[in-house]
């Protein structure tokens, strides 16, 4: 090692807390044969500018619940289908775990 006097440019990445006001489902991919759903959501600030995105893979018990006619969902939800509100319910359950 040697002592030097140099100045260089470096890129620094810092994390900052950013308030999120909206979540928006951007993409949904359903594979009934393999029994999973992939959901990508955007997290937006108060100006509806995307701060970041998150990806969820709904599998196993979560997939089975999503595709069921469970009373956890709105009355009349048919088995084998889901709506946006059902995805939000499952995403909230995943985040609590």
* pTM, rounded to two decimals: 0.82
Angle at the Cα of 31 from the Cα atoms of 65 and 80, rounded to 5 degrees: 40
Q: What are phi and psi of 12, to 5 degrees?
A: -120, 135
Tokens 């999503």 belong to which residue?
Answer: 66
> How high does pLDDT run on average in the chain?
93
- 4: pLDDT confidence band, cut at 50, 70 and 90? confident
- Tokens (6 digits) for 33: 């044969």
Contact 54, 38 (CB under 8 A): no
| Structure tokens given for 44 | 């937006």
Tokens of 50: 């995307």
pLDDT digits (tens, 9 = 90+) for 6-24: 988 989 899 999 999 999 9
């Amino acid at each position: 090692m040697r002592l030097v006097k140099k100045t260089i440019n470096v890129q620094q990445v810092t994390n900052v807390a950013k308030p999120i006001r909206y979540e928006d489902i951007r993409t949904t991919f359903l594979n009934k044969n393999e029994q999973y759903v992939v959901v990508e959501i955007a997290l937006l600030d108060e100006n509806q500018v995307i701060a970041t995105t998150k990806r969820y893979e709904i599998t196993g018990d979560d997939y089975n619940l999503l595709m069921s006619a469970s009373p956890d969902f709105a009355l009349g939800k048919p088995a084998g289908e889901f709506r946006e509100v059902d995805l939000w319910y499952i995403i909230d359950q995943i985040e609590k775990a």
